[in-house]
Structure 1
Amino acid sequence: MSAGQDQAAGPLAGLRVVELSSFVATPLAGLTLAQLGADVIRVEPLGGGPDRGRWPLAPSGTSLYWSGLNRGKRALEVNLADPAGRALVADLVVEGDGILVANNERWADLGHQALSERRSDVIHVLLTGRRDGGTAVDYTVQAGTGFPLVTGPAGHAAPVNHVLPAWDVAAGLYLAAGLLAAERHRARTGLGSAVRVALEDVALALAGNLGYLAEAQLGGDRVREGNDVHGTFGTDLTTADGVRFMFVALTPRQWRDLLEMTGLGDVVAGLEKALDADFADEGDRYRHRAALFGLLGSWVSTRSWAEVSEALSRTRILWSPYRSFADLAAHDAAELRAHPLFATVDQPGVGPYLAPGSPIDVAGAPASSARAPQVGEHNAELLAERLGLPPERMAALMADGVVRDRQEVEA
């Protein structure tokens, strides 16, 4: 299935977005829109963007990272150092839907002011590192916003960064939401917008919204708790046959299910009385979790995973065994193949593999088998068909090194 067929089926069909970006957040914003049907044109410098070879890699050296974040897009390769190359990108923006998403302000002629002088309702979406325009990446934002100092085993002294670039991911989704909000505003008022998202602001906003900053302002001192779930009742346990799993009992019903499943009701009632606690209260369960986890750990450690999982399946307790990426990709491949989120993609340099569509379950956005484009794959159709450049103009651009003839490059 081609990207065009996928786009025609999605709820954002007809929306054209020019993406001038690299790495995680802005490509994820474009991917989010493309998987919902938008026509996303990924612009790269000659030879491809700086993230084209980023790990993880297929055995051929093709970036699995790049392939995953750019599926379903079309690729334009131009010499961005040449004003004529940037003029082509600007033409695609103003003569299309007037929407550009970018992660740098390197070129004034592709900035909001220059584009809005050509088209007053242009929507310019920009990711920055910091609100003042300073640079930052996910891991430096992590370092400056407190999270690595409460991540990791209890008592561990050194900071622990999360391997998931959470702020990049959140920023990408904020960029997509901001773009759609601006497009909605334009539909109502006819006005364009300059949308700005700073990576550091994303982390600060979420640290504030989730109560971390308010807690600190009120004198709280969050510490590392390992895999214990802060403020409620959940942790990881290990069965007699060595299977480690995570469970969470959030609600009173789940707590009652846990006591009934384990038969520990009388023991827990005695502990409750001895501690002058009320374990019907989530806060008391959390405060006395060490004693309670000890009881549960003893019960679990004398039973096999088959016994424990069968017992958990009869309750409303939230639980899952720990699985590696290899478990998901190999041992549970049949599960992925059957999952409606996934479709088989045949990516050049990688081969066929299962790749996800949009996790937004909305009518008209099925799992997509569209692959990621190769460098400059759509140069001809974008410049000739979308901008209407005649053959002689295309030849002149190639002769001047503004764009490249993909057939000659591939040969």
Structure 2
Amino acid sequence: MQNTTRHAPLAGLRIVEVSAFIAAPLGAMTLAQLGAEVIRIDPIGGNIDYRRWPLAANGNSIYWASLNKSKQSVTLALDTPEGQELASAIMCAPGEGAGIVLTNLPAKGWMSYEALSKRRTDLIMMRLTGNFDGSAAVDYTVNCASGFPIATGSDRAPVNHVLPAWDIAAGLYLSTGVLSAERVRSREGCGQEVTLALSDVMLATVGNLGYIGDVQVNGVSREPIGNHLYGAFGRNFATSDGREVMVAAISNRQWKALGCATALAERFEMIGPLMDVDLSTEGGRFHARRAIAAVLEPWFAARTVNEVSERFDGSGVLWGVYRDFRQLVEEDPRCSVENPMFEQVDHPGIGRVLTPRTPLSFAGTQAPRAAIAPTLGEDTRGVLEGLLGLTPAKVDELRERGIVGQA
């Protein structure tokens, strides 16, 4: 079920994915949505993530279908020498843009870079590990050490986030790593193994955002401040109809727009002298955040979210409405076919779902349309016959012996 488009940015690349969970499937799907041919190989019956929640009423995983769009699916008995040989042959099959493997599973023995590169010397392997020493870690065990759960909330009790941020960031790093290694290969003709540790993704982010430097330079660790925006003014406010909105004033223009739209500018001006802070600066507004919020709270409490929208839309105020997932789908016009990123797509075994293509928009090339995920193993025969040259009779014989899955 190849979903490439001739003019897609990554048309001509072939990536073989052996993975589970979020980071590696997301990295491979990112490449597939840009036009690369991605073949995902799973054990017969599916990998550990095949039935992960959320599920459709029939037990099919909406999660799995959502993270494997635009891919081909092959199932093999990877615990047998014959299944391993077929997988190796697919990974090392000839082709100018082929010979690229992406995995977050232990790459040992037959699936090691050393073994596969003997079959194809220009092989690229992009491999995700837990920690830099190769030991295991997942998003949740990495996140607990990041400092963010302690800095989230109103006290020092840790708050685990719902968003698997490190898996998502790692997935995008994986796609960048594949393209970087392929760039080297196209320029110099050599393959290589590229590794990425999930914990290093977290550590790089903490460092890049300045929190490591804050500890070492200033001797401080960011404390939890509830829903206030760190270093500027921003917070959630309740409206009269039971909704919540987020308001942020980072720039002076946004700060002035907030005062004008609420007609509270004069009251805001009184706060600076009283607290001896300069409200024309981000830091000044941060230090006065509670006083500013106290002025704004009754203003929001007296208005519905629609009335707030009438005041704020087009005013220059930076704001948004809090929504649960249902409200996002049912209320937000950005989460609809009005947004060119989305299409309504019928997914086998799942149903009709609003489905995103890549969020990247290219002016000069055509990205593939939103696509469905394959059913598990549906491309096994096509890959074995088309890519490896096996005869239909041979594929049937392998299926009867339990070496290949659906064929």
SS of corresponding position for 1:320: strand
Change (3 A) 1:335 1:178: closer
Structure 2: distance between partners of 1:301 and 1:398: 66
How many angstroms does 1:274 deviate by? 2.0
Structure 2: distance between partners of 1:292 and 1:333: 31
How many angstroms does 1:9 deviate by? 4.4
How many angstroms does 1:331 deviate by? 4.2
Structure 1: distance between partners of 2:131 and 2:137: 7
Matched-pair identity in %: 43
Unaligned runs of 5+ in 2: none
SS of corresponding position for 1:40: strand
User: Is 1:183 aligned with 2:182?
Assistant: yes
**For 1:327-346, what aligned pairs fall within 5 Å after superposition?**
327-332=327-332, 336-346=336-346
Q: Deviations over 1:153-195 (max 9, x none)?
A: x13x421111000000000000000000000111111111111
Structure 1: distance between partners of 2:278 and 2:120: 65
Change (3 A) 1:263 1:391: closer
SS of corresponding position for 2:336: helix
Deviates more, 1:55-64 or 1:235-244: 235-244
Partner amino acid for 2:180? A
Structure 1: distance between partners of 2:243 and 2:406: 56
SS of corresponding position for 1:104: coil
Aligned residue number for residue 68 of structure 2: 70
TM-score, length-scaled by structure 2: 0.94
Q: Deviations over 1:217-265 (max 9, x none)?
A: 2311211111111001111112233321001111111111112222223
**For 1:309-348, what aligned pairs fall within 5 Å after superposition?**
309-332=309-332, 336-348=336-348
CA contact (8 A) 2:35 2:368 kept: no
**For 1:286-325, what aligned pairs fall within 5 Å after superposition?**
286-325=286-325
Q: Deviations over 1:28-59 (max 9, x none)?
A: 01110110001100000011111110000011
Partner amino acid for 2:228? D
Partner amino acid for 1:184? R
Aligned residue number for residue 171 of structure 2: 172
SS of corresponding position for 1:381: helix
Structure 1: distance between partners of 2:13 and 2:394: 27
Partner amino acid for 1:404? G
**For 1:372-387, what aligned pairs fall within 5 Å after superposition?**
372-387=373-388
CA contact (8 A) 1:252 1:280 kept: yes
**For 1:235-314, what aligned pairs fall within 5 Å after superposition?**
235-314=235-314
Aligned residue number for residue 144 of structure 1: 145
Partner amino acid for 2:17? E
Structure 2: distance between partners of 1:395 and 1:240: 66
Deviates more, 1:85-94 or 1:24-33: 85-94
SS of corresponding position for 2:6: helix
Structure 2: distance between partners of 1:20 and 1:189: 26
Aligned residue number for residue 201 of structure 2: 202
SS of corresponding position for 2:60: coil
Change (3 A) 1:302 1:65: same
Aligned residue number for residue 409 of structure 1: none
Aligned residue number for residue 120 of structure 2: 119
SS of corresponding position for 1:4: coil
How many angstroms does 1:335 deviate by? 5.4
TM-score, length-scaled by structure 1: 0.93
Unaligned runs of 5+ in 1: 407-411
Change (3 A) 1:338 1:262: closer
How many angstroms does 1:399 deviate by? 4.0
Change (3 A) 1:319 1:248: same
Structure 2: distance between partners of 1:266 and 1:254: 16
CA contact (8 A) 2:53 2:62 kept: yes
SS of corresponding position for 2:328: helix
Deviates more, 1:309-318 or 1:66-75: 309-318
- Considering only aligned residues, what root-mean-square deviation do their CA atoms show, in Å? 1.7
CA contact (8 A) 2:246 2:322 kept: yes
Partner amino acid for 1:160? V
Q: Which residue among 29, 39, 49 is the counterpart of 1:51?
A: 49
**For 1:13-28, what aligned pairs fall within 5 Å after superposition?**
13-28=11-26
